[in-house]
């Protein structure tokens, strides 16, 4: 990070709310052909340009891409790693939401029904490795393009923390949490 001697530089870390049309295009791109991927890419570039603009207008010194190139704040990384098997018929309770799941059940049900019903299990069934998909390069290029014409101190892309990866998951390979988390961390080093 760049030091500042005159004032505290401002930033934020985290996933900003993705536009609904970007989410829909991302879902279509995962199941569609080259046309769907091209449409998603074009919409992603436009959305990242807009979120960078909004951050600079708000006075943020160190901006990011809003994590718009990712399908979610953390589960996206499973698309970039090997050996995670998604099991839609094996639902797991969403323990990480704690009491909020009870206190704000209606709001959560409206926004994320799978949190109430249970989320599909993501099982680690072998040695974890990073499978290059080109997503990191795409996200870097998209952010760099969006920064043109804006005066910012710095810009960054986020990466998920090892312990947040596969939070709906189970380890069926390593046999202990230490080795499992460290294997995830080693794979995440690629990001």
pLDDT in tens, 117-147: 888 899 999 999 999 778 899 999 999 999 9
pLDDT at 77: 87
- Mean pLDDT across the chain: 90
0.85 exceeded by pTM: no
3-state percent breakdown (helix, strand, coil) of the chain, nearest 5 = 45, 15, 40
**Alpha-carbon torsion 85, 66, 147, 23, what sign?**
positive
pLDDT in tens, 45-77: 999 999 999 999 999 999 999 999 998 878 788
Q: Three-state DSSP class for 67? A: coil
Residue 60's alpha-carbon distances to 49, 54, 56, 150, 190, in angstroms, are: 15, 9, 5, 11, 27
Looking at domain 20-91+119-188, which of 1.20.1250.20, 3.55.40.20, 3.20.20.210, 2.40.30.10 is its CATH number? Answer: 3.20.20.210
- Please state, in angstroms and rounded to a whole number, the distance separating the CA atoms of residues 71 and 163: 18
State the residue for tokens 């080093």: 189
- Please state, in angstroms and rounded to a whole number, the distance separating the CA atoms of residues 66 and 143: 10
- Please state, in angstroms and rounded to a whole number, the distance separating the CA atoms of residues 176 and 130: 20
The mean per-residue pLDDT over the stretch 71-98 comes to 86
Q: Where are the domains of the chain?
A: 20-91+119-188
């Amino acid at each position: 990070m760049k030091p500042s001697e005159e004032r505290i530089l401002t930033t934020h870390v985290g996933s900003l709310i993705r536009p609904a049309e970007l989410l829909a295009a991302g879902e279509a791109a995962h199941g569609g052909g080259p046309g769907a991927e091209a449409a998603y890419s074009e919409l992603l570039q436009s959305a990242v340009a807009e979120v960078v603009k909004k951050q600079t207008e708000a006075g943020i010194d160190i901006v990011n891409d809003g994590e718009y190139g990712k399908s979610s704040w953390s589960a996206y990384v499973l698309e970039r790693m090997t050996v995670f098997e998604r099991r839609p018929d094996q639902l797991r309770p969403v323990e990480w939401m704690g009491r909020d799941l009870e206190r704000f059940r209606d709001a959560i049900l409206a926004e994320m029904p799978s949190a109430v019903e249970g989320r599909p299990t993501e099982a680690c069934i072998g040695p974890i490795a990073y499978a290059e998909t080109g997503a990191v390069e795409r996200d870097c290029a998209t952010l760099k393009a969006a920064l043109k014409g804006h005066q910012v101190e710095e810009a960054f892309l986020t990466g998920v923390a090892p312990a947040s990866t596969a939070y709906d998951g189970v380890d069926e390979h390593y046999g202990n949490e230490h080795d499992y988390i460290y294997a995830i961390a080693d794979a995440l080093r690629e990001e």
